[in-house]
Amino acid sequence: MQTPPQFPTPGFNHQSPPPYQAHQAPPPSGFRIPLSTQSELPALQQLGPPVCYDADGRSPIFIGSAIFPNSVHPCKIGPHLAPPCRVPYGGGEHEHNGRYDLLPFDPNTMEWVPTSQGRVPPGRRPVEGGYEQGGGKLYHALAVIQGARVPGKTGEHLGGCNIAFGGGEHVIHENYEIL
């Protein structure tokens, strides 16, 4: 089987993560695993710990960034979903077909920090998850809806956290987390 071409995204590191050293900080977007809907997901143990579980309470959910022609959006990735990549956008939960990057969660170098209203907590460096067509930065976020933790996106221009859940895009303005 032919491997699909890899298109680098500005500001994103698409290399496999090297062994972490105490003095080595990951790049602003983290170390990513490039994937597409035509490729198979790596074995679950290679993806690091899931950031949460789907509403069923047992299906692991990971985070990543969906690559579009003029933007890159943080997304959720569920190996049990077909296609596995889902993006909150334009009021809906959209299945993403094509290129996306999985961001393995590394609890040694990353943490979820409480925030609200699209703010970046003072003194923190959020992990860049993408950008809007107009250039606004997007970051990875987690919010709770109907008792489930769901990954999504946030940015200062959004004023909250947008998540894809139950077929729709939901905006959470208070009490969510930024990576």
Q: CA 113 to CA 179: how far, in whole Å?
A: 6
| pLDDT of the residue at 48 | 86
pLDDT tens digits, one per residue of 4-45: 333 334 344 444 444 434 445 666 777 889 999 988 888 888
Q: Return the percentage of the chain with pLDDT > 70, whole number.
A: 84
Q: Which residues of 9-22 are buried (b: 16+ CB within 10 A; e: fewer)?
A: beebbeeebeeeee
The verdict on pTM exceeding 0.85 is: no
CA angle in degrees (0–180, nearest 5) for 107-28-98 = 90
